Chain A
């Protein structure tokens, strides 16, 4: 194990405790405790997962719905604390999970860029002066002072993507947000990602577009019901996953 790894996930498990009777109100819980009857269902979303991602490496994660991919991303994003195991992440993290979810529709693009930057821990004054450049990169220059309520979902995603990659992060967590904008913008975003990777950013990709993982990841993990089924060469891992999922593997070109 390298001490220099950017992301180190060691034997991480994450459990949700869900009350069996769905006692989400205090009143119900008190009534149930009085009757000695609060039973929790433990949902183990991630089970004993370990891996490392080095600087400049791209790790792809594949798996069916509910396999624990997004939960694992949230554990790496520090949003969910692991139930057991250890996560270490070195450097600035830029999570691209549900792009634009943090935007406030009533505020202008400019105000949202500053808010988003502040959320990512960036310097607010620096963000203010980057607004024009970010909007230009997103191809949205004319909309800087328009409330984002008026933006289409494609415009929102472009804006969020542009803010996320404006400053080189040390870790980029990309959850199913590759199909951003039109094909010209997609091309641009792929180029920007390559640029970041060459600059040493560690990237974790979650996608159902297995072709993209095969083309771009250096290594892949197949997750099934929270556990790692296979690790290794992306094409082999994707093939094993697709075979198990009952989908014919794409014919080699």
Chain B
């Protein structure tokens, strides 16, 4: 690569000049690319550490959404069973919805908290801090894929079958990853600065979870208000995942621009805010 190209892309690894301001968007994306091997190592570490430490190991990732879905089935199935779109078993409907919503909730919280939890490394060795945040979001995506296994098994066991379109799941998952990473970047510098932001974020994430139809059908909302759901990008994601996983009702075409747009917009906005704010919070780690 030419010297000019390296400079423009921020790929010049061998000169640090504090007087050169960081380029929020292109610079940060280039650094994520340059440190991709570290992202992979960090994701592997996240996964191995999580599974080595627990008694049931990898099964927890699988068991956790199952138990939550079981609780929701106990509480809500009588209320909503007959109105689930697509006539699938309530458990499958809930599990498919939970998979995406749980990834969003845990992913945003982990990404936002990732810098504080990696402080021991970040305060000693220079690594673009965004690398740590992005790896946290990526670990969640791997967990999503693990969680897909029991969902598909339940679909088979309960006679729903698996739609061949399931092979396309990674595509919306990629945009969900970008949305989650971006939202996490947006919050991360505030989490470092103020101890209690994470609590507030937890409450907001719970609210977003309830505003997404996981355990209730969207038909319980009066028709005139139903389009308001599109303001919540997770609604579109959940609809598309259900369609791809078990052939749920085809979602509106508007879901595609919402998914692509929210992914790119949140990611770009989060990166810019993060890189701009980082110098003023670095000393708080």
Residues of A in contact with B (beta carbons under 8 Å apart): 14, 16, 24-27, 29, 74-75, 77-82, 85-93, 95, 97-98, 101-102, 104, 106-107, 111, 114-115, 118-121, 123-124, 170
Question: How close is B153's CB to chain A, nearest CB, in angstroms?
Answer: 30
Question: A154 CA to B93 CA in the complex, in Å?
Answer: 55
- In Å, the complex CA distance between A208 and B45 comes to 36
Chain A residues with CB under 8 A of B194: 24-26, 29
Among A80, A89, A97, A101, which residue has its beta carbon within 8 angstroms of that of B16? Answer: A89
7 more A-B contacts (CB under 8 A) besides A24-B194, A115-B45?
A: A14-B283, A79-B123, A81-B282, A102-B121, A102-B125, A107-B48, A120-B125
Name the interface size band of chain B: 35 or more
The residue from A29, A86, A104, A111 contacting B17, defined by CB atoms under 8 A apart: A86
Q: Give A108's nearest chain B residue, CB to CB.
A: B48
B19 contacts partner chain A, Cβ-Cβ < 8 Å: yes
Contact at B126–A86, with CB atoms within 8 Å? no
Q: Which residues of A contact B226 (CB under 8 A)?
A: none
**CB proximity of B160 to chain A, nearest CB, Å:** 39
Q: Which A-chain residue is minimally distant from B127 (CB atoms)? A: A119
Contacts of A118 in B (CB 8 A): 35, 37-38, 41-42
Instruction: Across the interface, name the chain A residue whose C-beta is closest to B39.
Output: A118
Q: Which B residues have a C-beta under 8 Å from some C-beta of A?
A: 13-19, 35, 37-38, 40-42, 45, 48-49, 52-53, 120-127, 190, 194-197, 200, 279, 282-283
- Distance, CA A77 to CA B16, complexed state (A): 9
In the assembled complex, which residues on chain B have CB atoms less than 8 Å from the CB atom of A81?
18, 279, 282
Nearest residue, chain B, Cβ from A17: B283
Residues A88 and B16 in contact, CB atoms below 8 Å apart: yes
Complex A-B: 10 CB contacts under 8 Å: A26-B195, A78-B16, A81-B18, A87-B16, A89-B16, A90-B15, A101-B121, A102-B125, A111-B45, A121-B38
A16 touches B283 (CB 8 A): yes
In the complex, residue of chain B having the shortest beta-carbon distance to the beta carbon of A164: B125
Cα distance A170–B13 in the bound complex, in angstroms: 12
Q: In the assembled complex, which residues on chain A have CB atoms less than 8 Å from the CB atom of B17?
A: 86-88
Q: If the complex has contacts A79-B122, A95-B125, A101-B120, are A25 and B45 also in contact, measured as CB distance less than 8 A?
A: no
Where chain B touches its partner, the secondary structure class is helix
List the B side residues contacting A97 at CB < 8 Å.
Answer: 124
CA distance A6 to B195 in the complex (A): 39
Q: Which chain A residue shows the least CB distance to B34?
A: A121
Q: Which single residue of chain A is at the shortest CB-CB distance from B121? A: A102
CA–CA, A119 to B197, complex, Å?
28
If A24-B195, A27-B196, A78-B126 touch, does A124 touch B45 (CB 8 Å cutoff)? no
Q: Which residue of A lies closest to B119 (CB)?
A: A101
Question: Which 7 pairs across A and B sit closest by C-beta, in order of nearness?
Answer: A78-B126, A26-B194, A102-B121, A118-B38, A124-B37, A25-B196, A81-B279
Tell me whether A87 and B18 are in contact (CB under 8 A): yes
Please determine whether A121 and B19 come into contact, CB atoms closer than 8 angstroms: no
Residues of B with C-beta under 8 A to A170? 14
| A120 contact set on B, CB distance < 8 A | 125
Is A79 within 8 A of B282, CB to CB?
Answer: yes
Do A86 and B37 touch (CB < 8 A)?
Answer: no
How distant is B115 from chain A, measured CB to nearest CB, in Å?
12
Is A121 within 8 A of B124, CB to CB?
A: no
Q: Smallest distance from the beta carbon of B134 to chain A beta carbons, Å?
A: 14
* Contact present for B195 and A25 (CB under 8 Å): yes
Residues of B within 8 A of A82 (CB): 18
Check if A26 sits within 8 Å of B200, measured CB to CB: yes
Residues of the A chain whose Cβ atoms lie less than 8 Å from the Cβ of B200: 26
Smallest CB–CB gap between A243 and chain B, Å? 33
Interface residue from B35, B125, B195, B197 paired with A79 (Cβ < 8 Å): B125
CA distance A47 to B41 in the complex (A): 38
Bound CA span A123–B34, Å? 11
Taking CB atoms, residues of chain A closer than 8 Å to B283 are 14, 16, 80
- Please name the residue on chain A nearest to B22 by beta carbon: A81
CA A124 – CA B43 in complex, angstroms? 14
What residues of chain A lie closer than 8 Å to B16, measured between beta carbons?
A: 78, 87-90, 93
Whether A80 touches B41, Cβ cut-off 8 Å, given contacts A24-B194, A107-B48, is no
Q: What chain A residues lie within 8 Å of B49 (beta carbons)?
A: 104, 106-107
Distance of A225 Cα from B14 Cα, bound (Å): 31
Alpha-carbon distance between A85 and B18 when the two chains are bound, in angstroms: 8
Q: With both chains docked as a complex, state the minimum distance between the C-beta of B30 and any C-beta of chain A, in angstroms.
A: 14
Residues of A within 8 A of B53 (CB): 106
B197 x A74 contact (CB < 8 A): no
Closest to A175 in B: B124
A114 to B14, CA, bound (A): 21
In angstroms, how far is the closest chain A Cβ from the Cβ of B40?
Answer: 7
Contacts of A89 in B (CB 8 A): 15-16
| Cross-interface CB contact of B124 among A27, A77, A115, cutoff 8 Å | A77
Partner pick for A102 among B40, B52, B124, B195, CB 8 A cutoff: B124
